[in-house]
Amino acid sequence: MRSHRRISSVAVATAAVIALALTGCTGGGNTDGDAAAPTDLSVGLIASPASLDFTTTAGGAIPQALLYNVYEGLVKINNTGDIEPLLASDYTVSEDGLVYNFTLHEGVTFSNGSPFTAETVKFSLERVADNWTANGPGYLSPISAITVVSDTEVQITLSTPSNSWLFNMAGPVGTMFSPDGVDALATEPVGTGPYTVTAFSPGTSLDLQLRDDYWGDAPYMTEVELRYFADANAQSNALLSGDIDVVTQLSQYQLVSQFESNDDYKVQEGSSTGEVTLTMNNQSAAFADVRVRQAVMFAVDRQAIVDTVNSGYGTVLGQMAAPTDPWYDPTLVNLYPFDPERAEALLAEAGVSDLTVALKVPNLPYAVAAAQVVQSQLADVGITVETSTLEFPAVWLDEVFTKHDYDMSIISHNEPRDITLFAAPTYYAGYNNPDVMSLFAQADAADPETSIDLMKEATTVMAEEAAADWLYLIPVVSVADADLTGVPLNAPTLSLDLSTIAR
Amino acid sequence: MALTLLRRIGVFVATLLAASIVTFVLLSILPGNAARVALGIDATEEQVAAQEIAMGLDRPALERYADWFGHLLVGDFGTSAVSQQEIGPQIGDALGITAVLVVSSMLLAVLFAIPMGILTAIRQRKPDGVILSGISQIGVSIPGFLAGMLLVTLFAVTLRWLPAGGWSDPGDGIWDFVSHLILPAVALGSVQGAVLSRYVRAAVLEVMRDDFLRTARAKGLTPAQALLKHGLRNAAVPVLTVLGVQIAALLVGTVVIERVFAIPGLGSLLLDTVALRDLPSVQGIVMVLVGLVLVINLLIDIAHTVIDPRLRSAT
């Protein structure tokens, strides 16, 4: 312990020297206080964007880097998961939930200098249907008309009331584009956000530079480098050696302890929207019977998985919802307590013996580790699990997701509020209950309070029918240099909102 | 001589052609759909089909091959199916980094291996020779990535003398460049150097038993003089062959070290593009690697003929 302290003080001294050197180099920046704090930031992330165009390329990494930082929409989701106005200064909703009137901020410009007006809103939203292929262009289908009232007022009419529509407007599909800034989205994004992309090297890094003509309150950091590490150890070494300032979501939790015991770093644990799910193919011979699925629910000890795979980090769920979702129901967590005997009884009741199932997991560390625990727990109740590891994304998407050629799989469902997606009969889980789909439809059109009740009902039915085993919610464990403040606690959307980070 | 050169060029082109066909066929039958990877899980089958057309995946394989290889012949690698960036410059940047890494680690390896190999050969039965030989044997058995992780833990994490990873262009400051290069180059070079020193030792021991060396000794030269004057050039021939194999292996072997150190070299690019099923990029990278290995082999052959005059008449 003593030698550890000594190392730390050497580290502090080195960091101080580096910090001084940096201050001397950059100058400028915030000047409150005696010495100006450096306004450059280096963030360590895992998955790199494949391109910079989220209109045609999937993957959470593109919105993570660009949404709210480079691109903005009329509304955004704040860090506690609530919708708030962004490019709209205000908005009103009619009694029947069909007509939305947005008032826009004045003097907003895109990074290419073009103005942002009501016409731009119409252009951007109408563009989705024809040009978007990724990130859910269907989310905007409730829109029946977009009317430009004036330069700063736009009226959007829906064909049916939809609560999810406004929520989705805060995500990628609600992004505002300039008509003269969409020619090279994959390499040159043009948005109204506070930052512009100055360099992008796929798989390595993405550099952001603060605009000096940003319309809103400028973030603190003037230069942000997002660095991508395929290897979690390399990432944590970079943090320990001072190469990067913050890791916003650590992926291997056994690495946390070395930072917790070190005063040079701050560790915080928040909530994400990633439900790690043990999917059972409801259409497969093995799991068509609800009793077999329920037997799996009783046979799997979810807390044991969290403890062994995640060093105890993560929240056992029991439902396809995150605690930040308004319809999250804490009572569902213990719907299926760990009870191997009930599992065996259910299997006997279903007349199933010598069951052998194929568990096909993506080659992601958490999935591979969880699969081992699941395999041994299911073996205890007489289910033989044959585990195979598939290359992610390509082979997993092909075999499991597209061809439904599997019995079980384990993967994290990261998109916020993706329960409706999961319940669709065509989805890879093969869960088919028209009543649940009808509840979702009613909930979408209902007033907010009724909506939550209906969503809760649908979530409960899906849990009772064991549509899948939602194992745990991925925690957001961030580690930052001790002098950084405002590191986002939660990850309620795919975006990594840099606006609050300061030094 | 001219005929030899022509034959060599012919073999070079034929190998490239064969490699291009193998690469293309293997990547075509790789499971996974590039269009589905690009669009992700919420795209419908219709959208995926449309994306396949946009990416040109619906065209007959032969047509796609001819189109790709035709452009490749005039140095056009095409555009990435995913990032929409030009592939050529991307490969160029990554290759530059990998080349610096390979050359510097190979230099380190040679600088270490030659004196070490000769010393352990000469002092074969002496205690110091045995100890040194043991050390190099340990070096041989340590994988490069492990050496890398140990070096990072010591010099980057604990002492904070050097960065834990990443890369810096020489244009952005020479110290930045060197400091990022040291650890990965040492990690790669020390292991390669240990391997190479074993070969140097064996080659030197071999020539020390040769008749011409005994003759040289008989003329009154000390063992060291005899070795320097007549032995080393002979010992260099097998060592050179190993060196060529090592460089070729390093070109591909940097993949792991680039991952450990988060270096944006050719290996990292290859892994990333394979994961994305960005086939035009993968094909381009593999062809560049094949071409480089062929060029290295050619250079090693030429070096052989320079060192060993006997080979000149043989061909």
**How far apart are alpha carbons B183 and B168 in whole angstroms?**
13
pLDDT bin (cut points 50, 70, 90) of residue B80 is confident
pLDDT of residue B43: 77
- Structure confidence by residue, pLDDT tens digits, B265-306: 999 999 888 888 888 899 999 999 999 988 888 888 888 888
- pLDDT of B278 reads 87
| pLDDT of A352 over the 70 cut | yes
Cβ-based neighbours of A315, under 8 Å, separated by 6 or more: A271, A306, A323, A472, A473, A475
- Pairing state of beta strands A315-316 and A265-280? unpaired
- Give the pLDDT confidence score for residue B75 in this predicted structure: 87
- Predicted pLDDT at B1: 60
Mutate to test the interface with B, among A55, A241, A360 (most CBs of B within 10 A): A241
Nearest to A222 by CA among A478, A475, A26, A24: A26
Question: CA-CA distance, A449 to A184, in Å (whole number)?
Answer: 43
Q: A58 and B33 in contact by Cβ < 8 A?
A: no
Specify the 3-state DSSP secondary structure of A463: helix
Residues 430-469 of chain A with CB under 8 A from chain B are none
Partner residue facing B43 (CB), from A14, A48, A134: A134
* Torsion of the alpha carbons at A46, B38, B74 and B269, rounded to the nearest 10: 10
pLDDT digits (tens, 9 = 90+) for A393-443: 889 998 999 899 999 999 999 888 889 989 999 999 999 999 999 999 999
> How many whole angstroms separate alpha carbon A397 and alpha carbon A418?
17
Distance from CA of B170 to the nearest CA of A (A): 17
Please state whether B60 falls in left (phi above 0), alpha (psi between -120 and 50) or beta. beta
Q: What length is written for chain B?
A: 315
> How would you classify the pairing of strands A40-45 and A223-228?
parallel
The answer to whether the beta carbons of residues A158 and A100 sit under 8 Å apart is yes
- The answer to whether B81 and B278 have CB atoms below 8 angstroms apart is yes
Residues near A311 by Cβ (< 8 Å), separated by ≥ 6? A253, A254, A256, A257
pTM of the shown model: 0.85
With 90 as the cut, is the pLDDT of residue A33 above it? no
Q: What is the mean pLDDT of residues B61-76?
A: 89
Interface with chain B: mutation pick from A51, A197, A422, highest number of B CBs within 10 Å = A51
Reported ipTM: the value is: 0.81
Q: ∠B170-B175-B176 over CA atoms, to 5°?
A: 65
Confidence of residue A35 (pLDDT cuts 50, 70, 90): low
Residues of B in contact with A201 (CB under 8 A): 93, 264
pLDDT single digits (tens) A9-24: 334 344 444 443 433 3
The answer to whether the CB atoms of B277 and A394 lie below 8 A apart is: yes
Contact A227 B262 (CB under 8 A): yes
Contact residues, chain A, for B260 at CB < 8 Å:
231, 233-234
> Could you tell me the CA-to-CA distances from B232 to A194, A227, B121, B202, B297 in Å, in that order?
65, 48, 12, 12, 22
Give the closest residue to A474 by CA, choosing from A337, A306, A331, A329.
A306
Q: Which are the contacts of A42, defined by CB distance < 8 A and separation ≥ 6?
A: A224, A225, A227, A243, A244, A245, A246
B42 to A233: CB separation less than 8 angstroms, yes or no: no
pLDDT for residue B56:
82
Q: What is the pLDDT of residues B153-179, one digit of tens each?
A: 899 988 889 998 889 888 888 999 999
Q: Give how far A473 is from chain B: nearest CA, Å.
A: 20
Residues of B in contact with A3 (CB under 8 A): none
The contacts of residue A397 (CB under 8 Å, 6+ apart) are B32, B33, B36, B37, B41
Q: How many residues does chain A have?
A: 503
- Whether A58 sits inside 8 A of B40 (CB atoms) is yes
What digits encode the pLDDT tens for the residues A376-387? 999 999 999 999
- Measured between beta carbons, the chain A residues lying within 8 angstroms of B36 are 394, 397-398, 401-402
CB contact under 8 A, A238 and B33: no
The predicted pLDDT at position B237 comes to: 85
Residues of B in contact with A64 (CB under 8 A): none
What Å distances lie between residue A114 and A124, A178, A411, A488, CA to CA? Answer: 14, 7, 42, 31
Q: Do residue B269 and residue A136 have CB atoms under 8 angstroms apart?
A: no
Residue A2 has a pLDDT of 36
Tokens 């010591």 sit on residue? B154
Q: How confident is the model at residue A1 (pLDDT cuts 50, 70, 90)?
A: very low
For CA atoms B128, B205, B218, B225, the dihedral sign is negative
For residues B242 and A260, what is the distance between their CA atoms, to the nearest angstrom? 48
Q: What is the mean pLDDT of residues B150-154?
A: 90
> pLDDT tens for residues A458-485?
999 999 999 999 999 999 999 999 999 9
Going by the DSSP 8-state scheme, the letter that residue A144 receives in this structure is: E
What is the pLDDT at residue B5?
A: 76
CB contact under 8 A, A241 and B160: yes
Region of B91 (left: φ > 0; alpha: ψ -120 to 50; beta: rest) is alpha
Residues 6+ apart with CB under 8 A from B209: none
d(CA B76, CA B119): 49
> Which of B33, B38, B164 shows the shortest C-beta gap to A57?
B38
Maximum average pLDDT range among A31-45, A281-295, B247-261: A281-295
Res B46: pLDDT: 82
Q: Does A240 touch chain B (CB under 8 A)?
A: yes
Give all domains of chain B, ordered by start, each with its CATH number. 2-73 (no CATH), 88-313 (1.10.3720.10)
The reply to whether A9 touches chain B by the CB within 8 Å rule is no
- For residue A4, what pLDDT band results from cuts at 50, 70 and 90? very low
Looking at residue B235, its pLDDT comes to: 86
Span B237-248, mean pLDDT? 88
Å from A49 to nearest chain B CA?
A: 9
A234/B165 Cβ within 8 A: yes
Q: Please, are residues A59 and A135 in contact by the beta-carbon 8 Å criterion?
A: no
Rounded to an integer, the average pLDDT of A346-352 is 95
Contact B204, B117 (CB under 8 A): yes
The C-alpha of B264 sits at a distance from chain A's nearest C-alpha, in angstroms, of: 6
Whether residue A48 and residue B272 make contact (CB cut-off 8 A), yes or no, is yes
Rounded distance, CA B10 to CA A57, Å?
Answer: 42
In a 13 Å sphere around the CA of B30, the CA atoms on its Cβ side amount to 24
Q: Is A398's CB within 8 Å of B36's CB? A: yes
Residue B36 to residue A402, Cβ atoms within 8 A: yes
pLDDT at residue A248 is higher than 90: yes
Instruction: Pick from A5, A201, A255 the residue to mutate for testing the B interface (most B CBs within 10 Å).
Output: A201
Matching residue, tokens 């029918």: A465
Between A68 and A13, whose confidence is greater?
A68
A5-9, A424-428, B120-124, B179-183: segment of lowest average pLDDT: A5-9
Task: Spell out which residues of chain A touch residue B47, defining contact as CB-CB under 8 Å.
Answer: 133
Nearest in space to A273 (alpha carbons), one of A472, A74, A497: A472
Residues of A in contact with B31 (CB under 8 A): 394-395, 398-399
Alpha-helix runs per DSSP H in chain B: 2-28, 34-39, 45-54, 61-73, 87-122, 127-141, 144-151, 174-208, 211-218, 223-226, 232-260, 266-275, 279-307, 310-314
